[in-house]
Amino acid sequence: MQAFVFSRLVRALVTVFLVLSFSFVILRMSGDPAMMIMSADAPPEAIAAFRQSWGLDAPLWEQYLGFFRNLVLGNFGYSMRDRSPAMELVLQHIPATLAITLPAFFLKIAIGIPAGVYAALHRDSMVDRVVMGLSVVGHTIPSFVLGLVLVLVFAVNLGWLPSGGSTSWQHAILPIATLSLGGAAVLARFTRSAMLEVMGQPYIRTASAKGLTWGAVVRGHALPNAAIPTLTIIGFMVGHLIAGAVVVESVFSWPGIGRLLVTSVANRDLAVVQCLLLLVAGTMVLSNFAVDMLYGWIDPRLRNGHAAGSAA
C-alpha cells in the first residue's frame, strides 16, 4: 500500500512540475511582455526599467530558477494591468465559479448515474433508447449553443429568467442548467457502459444462480463493481470544478474564474494566467490523486499492484 501511495505521489509531483515548466516556457518564450504591455512608441528607458523590475533582463535559466523560488516563497507575481497581487485576484473569483459548478456537479451525479444504471438494467428498452439518444445529443451540443438556446427560450421568449449577469440567485439557474445537462449526458453514457460490462461478468451469473434476488445482485455485486470505472470520470469532474465553466461563464457574463481566464488571455496578463494554470493544475492533480487513493481503497487488486499499470 505504501509503495502504491508513493508511486502515485511521485506522479502527481512530476505532473505539477511539468505544468509549471510548461507555463514558464509558454509565458517567457512567446514574445517580449514589455512590448506587449507598453506601447510600441514607449521610450527605450521606460522599457528597460520595466524589464528590470519584472526580472526580464536576466538570463533565461536564472528566470527559471527565480520562478520556482518565488513560487515556493508564495510570491505569485502581480497582475500587469493594475499591479494587484495575481493570486489574490484569482482567489477572489473562485467563490463565483463554485457557486455554479458545485450545484451543477451534484445535479450531474443525481441525474446521470440513475439514468445510466436504469438504462443498463433495462437494455434495449424504450427508456434505454431515449436515455442513450439524449446522451449522444447532450454530448454533441457545445455548451455555448445549449446556453444560448436556453437564453433564447427562457429569457428572450418566455421572459422567466435573466439572460446574463450575477446579481440574484435567478441568474445562476441557466448557467447551472447548461453545465449539468451536458455533464449528466456524459455520465449517463459512461455509467451505462460500465454497468453493462459488469452485468456480463460470470460472478453476476453466479450470484443469481445461488438464489440471490435481482435487487440483491444489483446492489451487492453489480453496483460496487461498476462504481470503480465511474469514479474516474467523477474525479475528472471534480478536477473541472474550477476550470470547467470557461465557456458557460462567458455566455452568461458570470464573473468567475473562466471569465477571468478569457479576459487575462485577451489582455495577455502573464501573472494572472500563470496563477490560473497553477490553480487548475493543482485541483486536477489533487483530484486525480484522490481518485487513485479511492481506487486503492475500493479495489484491493490495485493496492497490491497487480493491475496498477492498466488502471492509469
Residue ranges binding other proteins (CB under 8 A): 11, 14-15, 18-19, 22-23, 26-27, 30-31, 136-137, 139-145, 148-149, 151-152, 156, 163, 239-240, 243-244, 246-247, 250-251, 261-262, 264-266, 268, 270, 273, 276-277, 280-281, 284-285, 288, 312
Query: Which of 5, 212 has the CB closer to other proteins?
Result: 5
Q: Decide whether 163 or 166 has the Cβ nearer to other proteins.
A: 163
Q: How near is the Cβ of 94 to other proteins at its closest, in Å?
A: 15
Q: How many whole angstroms separate alpha carbon 239 and alpha carbon 223?
A: 24
Minimum distance between the CB of residue 265 and other proteins, rounded to whole angstroms? 4
Q: Which of 202, 308, 243, 290 is nearest to 101 (CA)?
A: 243
The nearest distance, CB 229 to other proteins, in angstroms, is: 15
Cell of 67: 520562478
Complex with other proteins: residue 217 or 296, whichever CB lies closer? 296
List all residues 6 or more positions away from 32 whose beta carbon is below 8 Å from its beta carbon.
56
Q: How far is the CB of 296 from other proteins (least distance, A)?
A: 17
Is 234:145 a contact under the CB 8 Å cutoff? no
Chain-centroid distance of CA 89 in Å reads 20
Minimum CB distance to other proteins, residue 142 (Å): 5
Closest to other proteins by CB, 96 or 277: 277
- For other proteins, the closer CB: 47 or 261: 261
- In the bound complex, what is the minimum distance in angstroms from residue 249's beta carbon to other proteins? 10
Q: What does DSSP assign to residue 58?
A: S
Q: Between 184 and 273, whose beta carbon lies closer to other proteins?
A: 273
CB atoms under 10 Å from CB of 182, counted, come to 24
Q: Which residue has the cell 470503480?
A: 228
Contacts for 284-290: CB closer than 8 Å, 24+ residues apart = 284/239, 285/12, 285/15, 285/16, 286/12, 286/239, 287/235, 287/236, 287/238, 287/239, 288/12, 288/15, 288/235, 288/239, 289/8, 289/9, 289/12, 290/235, 290/238
